[in-house]
């Protein structure tokens, strides 16, 4: 049986950009809009054209450059707003004007200072004006969830008669609760005689943490367009999170019996793009796209997932564009998770060896929040194997300064042989690393370099940490010295020694 489709209306570039500190350039808006098109949302609300020249230009560019979705602009129920909005969206293959006005008595008295009749006439006039320019017109009675129901029905009926094609019911301040909001949608369908002529939409805010729940209840009661944002960004506490609604509908099709056209494998990429460009980080425990959404640290959960993923995962990470689930090794992890991770690293231990390693693992895990691959390698090599350090720094000399090309000379013991090389670079650390590469013949990819003082004073001991990438695995090297160049060299060689162990275990040359 073919499932009815929910229209996904993305307002990341309009309501989402109203998040404090989330201002985007025109080019950044265009970049996000192209990604939203790849995500295959149905409608992109590209901005509020009257609000600024930059917003007008961004909406205009998106209208001309982004293909696929309907391109929508927002306008108050004011003549000049609607004219400006049409000027911005008219170049789109599928344009829409979205106009709105407050309808609750709180807004009428506190903000608009107008009567109900005056606001009703403004709403009808705005829709008629928009309809004379654009065949696709959306109308929102702002603060609908706090509007007198009968007056709300009257406004909706009149604006549909005026030509609206979409009626959006906003919970503008996040006041609604799920069952009552769902009932409101059902009551609108039952009390507005011409409601069947339009798509009924909802736009929920998260002030009380119920935006997604309110939206899902609205869907169950007949709403067929959902207004949402990537990562739930937006005014105050944010909006309904697109990824949560889409994956809820997909995961619980047995309950909703609906579908969306969203290409869910683009969700994670879109989430990270919006986070990066807006400068708003995604909480680790954020549903669907948080870094912990598919991570398991409990021993019971790890054991279950490794045996049968569905025991503790209701979605597949690859369905939202995440490569794989993560087994995070902590003091709560069990032997099954440890054996699994060691096997991935190339260690296949006997029962007694595993028991010894597990006891040492727990001792280390009690002191560290998380156990990384290099920690496991060190534990196993210490408990099970005794492999001598392959590369050892014997001597280091660097030269740098204003107007001087930075150079480094290193002398490294390789097993029983001592090799010396020199190199130049962009700075003393870069020169040192290039000289080490010449000796070891290992071109390691340096992913991260950090330094911190571990003691105080001018003679502080500095600790350097580097992350070296080897194919799809990362090792961490550490080194300490009162000389930061020496500490850097030690950290790099420590990482290379771990790479050697890793490659040996994997059978690489």
Question: What's residue 327's pLDDT?
Answer: 64
Question: What's residue 506's pLDDT?
Answer: 63
Q: What is the pLDDT of residues 14-39, one digit of tens each?
A: 999 888 778 899 999 999 999 999 99
Most confident residue range from 76-90, 358-372, 416-430 = 76-90
CATH superfamily of 4-278: Aldolase class I (3.20.20.70)
- What confidence tier does 66 reach under pLDDT thresholds 50, 70, 90? very high
- What confidence tier does 252 reach under pLDDT thresholds 50, 70, 90? very high
Average pLDDT over residues 204-213: 97
Question: What's residue 457's pLDDT?
Answer: 54
Sign of the dihedral defined by the CA atoms of residues 283, 287, 292, 298, in that order? positive
Least Cα distance to 302 among 357, 341, 353, 356 occurs for 341
Question: What's residue 387's pLDDT?
Answer: 45
CA 270 distance to own-chain centroid: 7
More confidently predicted of 357 and 3: 3
Distance CA 276, CA 394 (A): 43
Q: pTM for the full model?
A: 0.70
Sign of the dihedral defined by the CA atoms of residues 135, 157, 166, 204, in that order? positive
Least Cα distance to 233 among 7, 21, 8 occurs for 21
Average pLDDT over residues 115-136: 97
**At 1, is the secondary structure helix, strand, or coil?**
coil
Average pLDDT over residues 320-327: 77
Q: Which residues contact 432 (CB under 8 A, 6 or more apart)?
A: 396, 398, 408, 410, 423, 425, 485, 488, 489, 492
Residues facing 391 on adjacent strands: 414
More confidently predicted of 342 and 427: 427
Share of the chain above pLDDT 90, in %: 63
Cα 259 to Cα 70, 154, 197, 199, 503: the distances in Å are: 19, 31, 21, 16, 46
Distance CA 352, CA 191 (A): 73
Most confident residue range from 21-25, 214-218, 353-357, 385-389 = 214-218
Q: What is the DSSP string of 298-322?
A: SHHHHHHHHH-GGGT-SS-GGGGT-
| CATH class, 391-505 region | alpha beta
Quote the tokens at residue 51: 């609000």
- What confidence tier does 384 reach under pLDDT thresholds 50, 70, 90? low
Most confident residue range from 115-129, 276-290, 354-368, 398-412 = 115-129
Question: What's residue 460's pLDDT?
Answer: 57
Distance CA 148, CA 217 (A): 20
Helices and strands (H, E) in the chain, number of each type: 17, 18
Domains 4-278 and 391-505 alike in fold: no
Distance CA 445, CA 119 (A): 64
Least confident of 230-239, 365-374, 481-490: 365-374
Least Cα distance to 69 among 41, 106, 31 occurs for 41
Question: What's residue 472's pLDDT?
Answer: 67
Average pLDDT over residues 480-489: 86
Distance CA 28, CA 34 (A): 10
Domain chopping of the chain, boundaries: 4-278, 295-383, 391-505
Least confident of 85-89, 116-120, 274-278: 274-278
66 in Cβ contact with 72 (< 8 Å)? no
Q: Which residues contact 307 (CB under 8 A, 6 or more apart)?
A: none
- For the chain, the average pLDDT equals 89
Question: What's residue 388's pLDDT?
Answer: 53
Share of the chain above pLDDT 70, in %: 91
215 in Cβ contact with 240 (< 8 Å)? yes
Quote the tokens at residue 7: 């229209």
Question: What's residue 354's pLDDT?
Answer: 81
* 363 pLDDT more than 90: no
Sign of the dihedral defined by the CA atoms of residues 351, 353, 356, 361, in that order? negative
* 290 pLDDT more than 90: no
Question: What's residue 503's pLDDT?
Answer: 74
Q: Which long-range contacts (CB under 8 A, 24 or more apart) does 292-298 make?
A: 293/317, 293/322, 294/322, 294/324, 294/325, 294/326, 295/325, 295/326, 295/327, 295/328, 296/325, 296/326, 296/327, 296/328, 297/328, 297/329, 297/330, 297/332, 297/333, 298/332, 298/333
259 in Cβ contact with 246 (< 8 Å)? no
228 in Cβ contact with 241 (< 8 Å)? yes
**At 266, is the secondary structure helix, strand, or coil?**
helix
* 491 pLDDT more than 50: yes
Kindly give the pairing relationship between strand 445-453 and strand 462-470: antiparallel
More confidently predicted of 345 and 383: 345
More confidently predicted of 331 and 123: 123
* 8 pLDDT more than 90: yes
Distance CA 303, CA 358 (A): 15
Counting beta carbons within 10 angstroms of the beta carbon of residue 152, is it exposed (0 to 12), middle (13 to 18) or buried (19 or more)?
Answer: buried
Counting beta carbons within 10 angstroms of the beta carbon of residue 232, is it exposed (0 to 12), middle (13 to 18) or buried (19 or more)?
Answer: buried
Q: What is the pLDDT of residues 70-81, one digit of tens each?
A: 999 999 999 999
Question: What's residue 339's pLDDT?
Answer: 81
């Amino acid at each position: 049986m073919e499932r009815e489709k929910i229209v996904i209306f993305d307002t990341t570039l309009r309501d989402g950009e109203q998040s404090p500190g989330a201002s985007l350039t025109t080019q950044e808006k265009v970049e996000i809009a192209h990604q939203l098109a790849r995500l295959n949302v149905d409608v992109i609300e590209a901005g509020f054209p009257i609000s600024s020249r930059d917003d007008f230009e961004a909406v205009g560019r998106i209208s001309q450059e982004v293909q696929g979705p309907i391109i929508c602009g927002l306008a108050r129920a004011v003549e000049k707003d609607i004219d400006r909005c049409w000027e911005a969206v008219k170049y789109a293959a599928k344009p829409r004007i979205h106009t709105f006005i407050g309808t609750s008595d709180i807004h009428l008295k506190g903000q608009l200072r107008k009567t109900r009749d005056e606001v009703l006439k403004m709403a009808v006039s705005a829709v008629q004006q928009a309809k004379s320019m654009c065949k696709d017109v959306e109308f929102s009675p702002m603060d609908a969830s706090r509007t007198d129901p009968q007056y709300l029905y009257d406004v909706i009926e009149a604006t549909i008669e005026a030509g609206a094609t979409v009626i959006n019911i906003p919970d503008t301040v996040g006041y609604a609760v799920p069952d009552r909001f769902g009932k409101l949608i059902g009551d609108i369908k039952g009390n507005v005689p011409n409601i069947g002529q339009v798509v009924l939409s909802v736009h929920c805010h998260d002030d009380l943490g119920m935006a997604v729940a309110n939206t899902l209840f609205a869907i169950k009661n007949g709403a067929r367009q959902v207004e949402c944002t990537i990562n739930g960004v937006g005014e105050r506490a944010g909006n309904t999170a697109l990824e949560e609604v889409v994956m809820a509908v997909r995961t619980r099709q047995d309950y909703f019996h609906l579908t969306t056209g969203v290409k869910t494998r683009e969700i994670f990429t879109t989430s990270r793009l919006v986070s990066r460009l807006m400068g708003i980080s995604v909480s680790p425990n954020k549903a669907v796209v948080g870094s912990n959404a598919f991570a398991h640290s409990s021993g019971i959960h790890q054991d279950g997932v490794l045996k049968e993923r569905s025991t503790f995962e209701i979605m597949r990470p690859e369905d939202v564009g995440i490569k794989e689930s993560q087994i995070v090794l902590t003091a709560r992890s069990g032997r099954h998770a440890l054996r699994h991770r060691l096997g991935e690293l190339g260690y296949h231990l006997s029962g007694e060896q595993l028991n010894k390693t597990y006891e040492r693992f727990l001792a280390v895990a009690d002191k560290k929040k998380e156990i990384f691959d290099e920690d496991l390698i060190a534990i196993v090599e210490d408990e099970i194997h005794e492999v001598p350090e392959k590369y050892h720094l014997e001597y280091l000399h660097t030269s740098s300064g204003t107007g001087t090309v930075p150079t480094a000379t290193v002398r490294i013991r390789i097993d029983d042989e001592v090799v010396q090389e020199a190199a130049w670079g962009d700075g003393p650390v870069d020169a040192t690393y290039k000289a080490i590469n010449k000796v070891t013949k290992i071109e390691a990819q340096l992913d991260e370099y950090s330094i911190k003082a571990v003691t105080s004073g001018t003679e502080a001991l500095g600790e350097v940490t580097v992350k070296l990438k080897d194919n799809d695995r990362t090792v961490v090297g550490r080194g300490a010295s009162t000389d930061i160049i020496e500490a850097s060299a030690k950290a790099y060689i420590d990482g290379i020694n771990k790479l050697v162990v890793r490659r040996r275990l994997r059978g690489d040359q």
